[in-house]
């Protein structure tokens, strides 16, 4: 049975901002802006969207209904999804499945967040925490400090990589230097300042010996949206020139090895990423080396480094060499996080996966302006949520002949 091909026909996002910076707006305003931009990009009317999936982490139940989605005409349905930091891509994953099922041929994936300032923290203390097992296993392998728990989880993964493969603190610093540099050209980025490597290394310590403040993503307010459609819908609306095909998309949760193998890197999700990535490339027929541009989950520079290996961008233990060679930026083998990544663009949890999708679609369509990656033909997305779930995806132009004709 031939699988239904699914396309991204329109994307939109807000500028990511420091939580509470704009007192005059709330999450429905952010969502409305992202949805409106995606509809304008697709050139379709709101009423043509048949179903919607809304992703967010912080907020009361059914917040998606406050974003204007509930105004869709019959027979639309709306779903709300919460999957920690991979919430946005989880909404995208579900929207893709709806189109593939044939139940709808035009579906909106939306992610938004209105966050608190400061580090992430638990909200409920009268029930089991979904990170209990991860933290318990980590505590058996290393001392748990007083810093933010997410920073410790990923920082300890970085420390294990240093001990096992000889990676240096400067390698993590170089990742942050790159991402801040990339963000200078992104008008949607929360931070657009460029720093020297020395400034990054000398910023306040968050996890001693591995992470400084400028290597950690901020919390953010913002929204992102993508409209997905079937091939029949694309052709019916004459959208071949801009349709980006989702070549493949895989989701994985923590395998047994996350806890059984006594590895700080695996507790931080590397095996989860590796599992989803292997499925993705096996099913698509592509190899990591076929990719030109990557948006990956750099919540902390340490996670970007260990993810290079889990995604197959370089060999095991070779991330330091990969960074030193400049193979993660313009002029190298791949351009990783041309948007500035989470470290500089910001991280409104529900919106991040949709913002990654938007950036990769702009890159493939040649619309990324100063961030444009030359000859971008295949794009890779990675969005990870501790607890845990990860989504990886491949994108390419759906009708490259039509796109060239447009240019």
Q: pLDDT tens, 183-196?
A: 999 999 999 999 99
User: Mean pLDDT, to the nearest integer, of 274-282?
Assistant: 98
Range of lowest pLDDT (19-23, 40-44, 264-268, 347-351):
19-23
Query: pLDDT tens-digit profile of 142-177?
Result: 999 888 999 999 999 999 999 999 999 999 999 999
pLDDT of 1 strictly over 60: no
Residue 13 maps to a domain: yes
Residue 175 maps to a domain: no
Looking at residue 70, its pLDDT comes to: 57
Residue 174 maps to a domain: no
pLDDT of 402 strictly over 90: no
Query: pLDDT tens-digit profile of 357-376?
Result: 999 999 999 999 999 999 99
Looking at residue 404, its pLDDT comes to: 65
**Phi and psi, residue 167, nearest 5°:** -60, 145
Looking at residue 146, its pLDDT comes to: 82
Residue 28 maps to a domain: yes
User: Mean pLDDT, to the nearest integer, of 12-38?
Assistant: 92
Angle made by CA atoms 179, 250, 280, in degrees to the nearest 5:
85
pLDDT of 405 strictly over 80: no
Looking at residue 401, its pLDDT comes to: 85
Residue 307 maps to a domain: yes
Residue 325 maps to a domain: yes
Looking at residue 116, its pLDDT comes to: 78
73 pLDDT tier (thresholds 50, 70, 90): low
Q: How far is CA 41 from CA 96, 150, 367, in A?
A: 19, 36, 12
20 pLDDT tier (thresholds 50, 70, 90): confident
User: Mean pLDDT, to the nearest integer, of 126-142?
Assistant: 92
Rounded to the nearest integer, the mean pLDDT of the chain is: 94
Residue 348 maps to a domain: yes
Domain residue limits at 37: 6-118+218-396
Looking at residue 406, its pLDDT comes to: 57
76 pLDDT tier (thresholds 50, 70, 90): low
241 pLDDT tier (thresholds 50, 70, 90): very high
Residue 129 maps to a domain: no
Q: How far is CA 309 from CA 110, 322, 337, 347, 376, in A?
A: 30, 10, 16, 23, 21
Looking at residue 24, its pLDDT comes to: 85
User: Mean pLDDT, to the nearest integer, of 27-34?
Assistant: 93
Domain total in the chain: 1
pLDDT of 381 strictly over 80: yes
CB 211 within 8 A of CB 155: yes
124 pLDDT tier (thresholds 50, 70, 90): confident
pLDDT of 251 strictly over 70: yes
Looking at residue 376, its pLDDT comes to: 98
pLDDT of 126 strictly over 90: no
Where residue 100 sits, what CATH number does that domain have? 3.40.47.10
Give Cα 320 to chain centroid, integer Å: 23
Looking at residue 68, its pLDDT comes to: 67
As a whole number of angstroms, the distance between CA 255 and CA 265 comes to: 13
115 pLDDT tier (thresholds 50, 70, 90): confident
Looking at residue 268, its pLDDT comes to: 98
pLDDT of 72 strictly over 70: no
Query: pLDDT tens-digit profile of 290-323?
Result: 999 999 999 999 999 999 999 999 999 999 999 9
């Amino acid at each position: 049975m031939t699988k239904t091909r699914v396309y991204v026909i329109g994307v939109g996002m807000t500028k990511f901002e420091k939580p509470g910076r704009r007192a005059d707006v709330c999450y429905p305003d952010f969502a409305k802006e992202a949805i409106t931009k995606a509809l304008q990009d697709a050139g379709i009317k709101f009423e043509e969207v048949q179903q919607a999936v809304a992703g967010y982490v912080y907020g009361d139940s059914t917040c998606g209904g406050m974003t204007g989605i509930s105004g869709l005409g019959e027979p639309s349905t709306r779903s709300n999804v919460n999957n920690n930091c991979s919430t946005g891509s989880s909404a995208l994953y579900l929207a893709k499945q709806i189109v593939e099922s044939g139940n709808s041929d035009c579906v909106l994936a939306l992610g938004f967040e209105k966050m608190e300032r400061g580090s992430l923290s638990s909200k409920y203390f009268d029930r089991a925490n979904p990170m209990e097992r991860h933290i318990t296993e980590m505590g058996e392998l290393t001392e748990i400090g007083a810093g933010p728990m997410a920073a410790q989880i990923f920082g300890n993964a970085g420390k294990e990589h240093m001990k096992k493969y000889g990676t240096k603190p400067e390698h993590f610093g170089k990742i942050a230097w790159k991402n801040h540099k990339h963000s200078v050209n992104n008008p949607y980025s929360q931070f657009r300042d460029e720093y020297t490597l020395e400034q990054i290394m000398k910023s306040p310590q968050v996890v001693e010996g591995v992470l400084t403040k400028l290597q950690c993503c901020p919390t953010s307010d913002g929204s992102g949206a993508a409209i997905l459609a079937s091939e029949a819908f694309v052709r019916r609306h004459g959208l071949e020139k801009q349709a980006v095909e989702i070549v493949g998309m895989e989701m994985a949760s923590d395998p047994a090895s996350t806890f059984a193998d006594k590895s700080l890197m695996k507790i931080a999700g590397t095996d989860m990423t590796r599992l989803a990535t292997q499925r993705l490339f096996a099913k698509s027929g592509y190899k990591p080396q076929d990719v030109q541009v990557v948006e990956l989950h750099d919540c902390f520079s340490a996670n970007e480094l260990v993810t290079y290996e889990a995604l197959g961008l370089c060999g095991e233990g070779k991330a330091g060499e990969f960074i030193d060679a400049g193979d993660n930026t313009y002029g190298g083998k791949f351009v990783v996080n041309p948007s500035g990544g989470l470290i500089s663009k910001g991280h409104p949890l529900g919106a991040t996966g949709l913002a990654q999708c938007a950036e990769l679609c702009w890159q493939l369509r040649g619309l990324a302006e100063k961030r444009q990656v030359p000859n971008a033909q295949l794009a890779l997305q990675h969005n990870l949520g501790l607890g845990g779930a990860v989504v990886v995806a491949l994108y390419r132009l759906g009708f490259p002949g039509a796109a060239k004709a447009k240019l």
